[in-house]
Amino acid sequence: MTRAWNGFNITSVVLGFAFLYIPIVLLIVYSFNASKLVTVWAGFSTKWYAEAFANEALVNAGWVTLRVAFISATVATVLGTMAAMVLTRLTRFRGRFLFSGMIYAPLVMPEVITGLSLLLLFVSIGMDRGITTVILAHITFSMCFVAVVVQARLAGFDRSLEEAALDLGATPAKAFFTVTLPLIAPAVFAGWMLAFTLSLDDLVIAQFNSGPGATTLPMKIFSQVRLGVTPEINAVCTILVAAVALGVIVASLSIKRQEVRRQRAEQLAQQTS
Amino acid sequence: MSRAITNRVIVWLPYIWLLIFFLAPFVLVGKISLSEPAIAQPPYRPTFDWADGVAGWWGALKAFSIANYTFLTEDALYWKSYLSSLQIAAIATLITLAIGYPLALGMARAPRSLRPVLLMLVILPFWTSFLIRVYAWIGILKKEGLLNQLLLSLGLISEPLTLLNTNIAVYIGIVYSYLPFMVLPLYANLEKQDHTLLEAAADLGASRIKAFWTITWPLSLPGVIAGSFLVFIPAVGEFVIPSLLGGSDTLMIGRVMYDEFFQNRDWPVSSAVAIVLLMILIVPIMLFQRSEARAREQAK
């Protein structure tokens, strides 16, 4: 008897995925609905996409969101990679316990608490709320996710390569950029992607820390959804879902290809030595 | 750049960042939760001024008031919200487990070539927007929504059901949004299990169901625990799901705190609500970290 994939297993997988995907599929299908009534099908139409792009407030919110996500993901990746290096390499320094606590805590912290606490900080130092405060807030929580992703990669990392570079006279910085970074690049990139989508997605923290002129897309969607479901919002959501899904699939395929290539190169190196 | 300096920079940069933007804000929340509300901008009266020096600190300590906390115990709204958040999160976690376990088991027993695709399919919703996934349910659950249309056309019901803005919708929202968090640790655990144990059980005459309860289930407990915490902890403080899918009678503390802050503009009370929520969650968070640490030890 092998591990039988029996009828019960197949049914639960099919039902499970149906549950996960049907709501999103329905959302996408109804974004192409000609009727204004979201739940009555009246033929195929792309007019809601045209209307969404003609809605200046929505488009502006889209640009704000992309800008926030790009800047915060990039800074968070730099800080998070540093934090991952600290967690895996420097096992002993004063305050390490506090440091690792501060990295892991934001991962499970309820967003309302993170949002509120950062807002109180910005108010108390007299910083006006706006796009900068949203970016600072997003960097703070997403750098912890980056640190965890990169750390997993660094934990299984062969340090002898880096030591060889140092022995051959490379400065630590040079050894990092020419040896370590290329090897951990897939994880760093995955961390960036995660930080980017976290920022793209965040509503609660942005709601607390944003000010006039810095309305992000999730904030805009949220305020409109409270007034009811509209086909225009369905269209915006479909664009977001499609963009993220495409990004994730392309990224994971390219990481996979890189991984295979690296393994092949390592095998080759072992055979020739 | 010498090695020592490089090390110092890579430690201090993220460290200082987190001290300023993560730890300091919590100290502030604690401090403001002890001050009095005021009609001003910002809407609280600081109990002390950083500029006052040591004398100011001493005066401030005396001026601290726990009025906001006693207020929380006096007004039934708050403790009811805490209790109902814990209850909703716990029930939703159990439902998520009941749906997630068979799914993870089915994935783990799928043909090896199919597994990466199935795994990808579970991770993909995790990357797509949380808000959008919750929003998608509004169109399904509302009175003239798709679910009611389907049930009516099948003749199963004669009148549309009220689903949106009820606790049922909140449960559906939590289960749907957090299902991948449950499935991923369960799958990781079930996929690694040694299936020769099941063969031995079958050879010795155990039925499939008995083999499951005596072998598969006990071995999968670490995955069950990890998945349950990953669903339960964020669900307690959830804001988006109760405010979009819940009704006016759905009491969840994340939403109460949000309204306290944005509608009543009572910053000290919402800070106190946050501190108490943190105290409640610190126990499951520590338990979760401990079980994770134990799992890492065993993996070595």
Q: What is the pLDDT of residues B275-299, one digit of tens each?
A: 899 888 888 887 887 777 777 666 6
B122 touches chain A (CB under 8 A): yes
Residue A2 pLDDT: 45
Q: Looking up tokens 């009025």, which residue turns up?
A: B67
Residue A246 one-letter amino acid: L
B187 touches chain A (CB under 8 A): no
Residues A205, A45: Cα–Cα separation, whole Å = 35
Best of B1, B13, B21 to mutate (most A CBs within 10 Å, chain A): B21
CA distances from A143 to A84, A111, A136, A221, B45 (A): 10, 15, 11, 25, 33
Q: Which residue of B has its CA nearest to A41?
A: B146
Q: How confident is the model at residue B48 (pLDDT cuts 50, 70, 90)?
A: very low
Beta strand B44-45 pairing with B36-37: antiparallel
What percentage of chain B reaches a pLDDT higher than 70? 87
Interface ipTM: 0.82
Alpha-carbon dihedral of residues B2, B5, B7, B12, nearest 10 degrees? -160
Please give, one letter per residue, the 3-state secondary structure of B188-255. HHHHHCCCHHHHHHHHCCCCHHHHHHHHHHHHHHHHHHHHHHHHHHHHHCCCHHHHHHCCCCCCCHHH
Across the interface, of A10, A124, A222, the residue whose CB is closest to B28 is A124
Are B244 and A9 in contact (CB < 8 Å)? no
**A240 vs A224: CA distance, rounded Å:** 16
Residue A119: pLDDT band (50, 70, 90) is very high
Express each pLDDT in A153-178 by its tens digit.
888 777 888 888 888 888 888 888 88
* Other C-beta atoms lying within 10 Å of the C-beta of residue B134: 25
Task: Report pLDDT digits (tens) over B100-145.
Answer: 999 999 999 988 888 888 988 888 887 778 888 898 898 889 888 8
Answer whether B130's CB lies under 8 Å from A26's CB.
no
CA A245/CA A159 separation, integer angstroms = 35
Q: Assess B110–A contact: CB distance below 8 Å, yes or no.
A: yes
Q: Which residue of B has its CA nearest to A82?
A: B10
Q: How confident is the model at residue A263 (pLDDT cuts 50, 70, 90)?
A: confident
* Side chain identity, residue A61: A
Q: What is the pLDDT of residue A1?
A: 39
Write the DSSP symbol of residue B128.
S
Q: In 3-state terms, what secondary structure has residue B37?
A: strand
Q: Which 3 state secondary structure label does DSSP give A95?
A: coil
Determine the Cα–Cα distance for residues A211 and A116; give it in Å rounded to an integer. 14
CB atoms within 10 A of CB B149: 14
Residues 164-203 in A contacting B (C-alpha not used; CB under 8 Å): 171-173, 197, 200-201, 203
User: What pLDDT band is residue A15 in, cutting at 50, 70 and 90?
Assistant: very high
Is residue B56 pLDDT above 60, yes or no? no
Exposure string for B251-286, b = 16+ CB within 10 A, e = fewer: bbbbbbbbebbeeeebbbbbbbbbbbbbebbeebbe
pLDDT at B54 over 70: no
Tell me how crowded residue A258 is: count the other CB atoms within 10 A of its CB: 13
Cα three-residue angle A201-A56-B139, rounded to 5 degrees? 50
